[in-house]
Amino acid sequence: MNDTTRVPPAPVTGVYGALIKAGSKKMLGKVPDSIGVAWHHRPVLKDFMTLGRKSEKWDALDPTLASLATMAAAASVGCSFCLDLHYFMAHNKHLDEGKARDVPRWRSSTVFSPLERRVMEYAEAMCQTPVEVTDELSDALLADLGPAALVELAARVGLMNATARQNVALGIRSEHFADSCGLPPLAQGTQSRSTPTAS
């Protein structure tokens, strides 16, 4: 597989470019190739970044559940960039790194609670085509989380699904952010979707 993006990154220039590069370096330690790829269409870059920043302020869903859901969605789509980035972000937000590391094999892992497993099952089901969320799973999460958090869960997964599919299509891959802060490699996903989840 080619390690380069399918659209070559453009030089990120100008005042707005300088702000984006400074913000990226502060948060990630470098400017990822994805910024240069999106720089070819700045309104797309700006709107996605704005939505991403706004979504960070949503607070009806527990932060750990939100992180696990977005990572499960990224794993389901196969976005190595998204998985690596959110593993790195879990570290920076002081979330449970062991659980974040195990998301790619959540069905066979023993580190997750039943609620966490239901949240990741929901995320995975949302990323299928057609969507495979069942009434039973939705009802269980509604009882677990309440309506506001369930709406946020669906929104976070939907946003990650769109972002992850865009990244995969454009050939944007992991840039090893997690490696830079000494995190062990992400677990390898080996389980089948037919494996039953914990009740």
23-72: per-residue pLDDT in tens? 999 988 899 999 999 999 999 999 999 999 999 999 999 999 999 999 99
**Helix %, strand %, coil % of the chain (to 5):** 65, 0, 35
Query: Does the pTM of the predicted model rise above 0.75?
Result: yes
Cα–Cα distance measured from residue 113 to residue 198, given in angstroms and rounded to the nearest whole number? 8
The domain segmentation of the chain, as residue ranges, is: 58-180
Confidence bin at 195 (pLDDT 50/70/90): very low
Contacts of 12 (CB under 8 A, 6+ apart): 20, 21, 31, 35, 36, 39
Contacts of 123 by beta carbon, 8 Å cutoff, 6+ apart: 68, 69, 70, 72, 73, 76, 153, 157, 160
Q: Give the tens place of pLDDT for each residue, 2-13.
A: 468 999 999 999
Q: Can you say how many angstroms the Cα of residue 54 is from the centroid of all Cα atoms in its chain?
A: 15
Higher pLDDT among residues 52 and 91, named by residue = 52
139-165: average pLDDT? 98
DSSP code of 11?
Answer: P
Cβ neighbors of 188 (< 8 A, separation 6 or more) are: 104, 105
Whole-number Å distance between alpha carbons of 140 and 134? 10
- For 111-151, what is each residue's pLDDT tens digit? 999 999 999 999 999 999 999 999 999 999 999 999 999 99
DSSP structural state of residue 176: -
Tokens read off for 108: 């066979």
The reply to whether CATH 3.30.420.40 applies to domain 58-180 is no
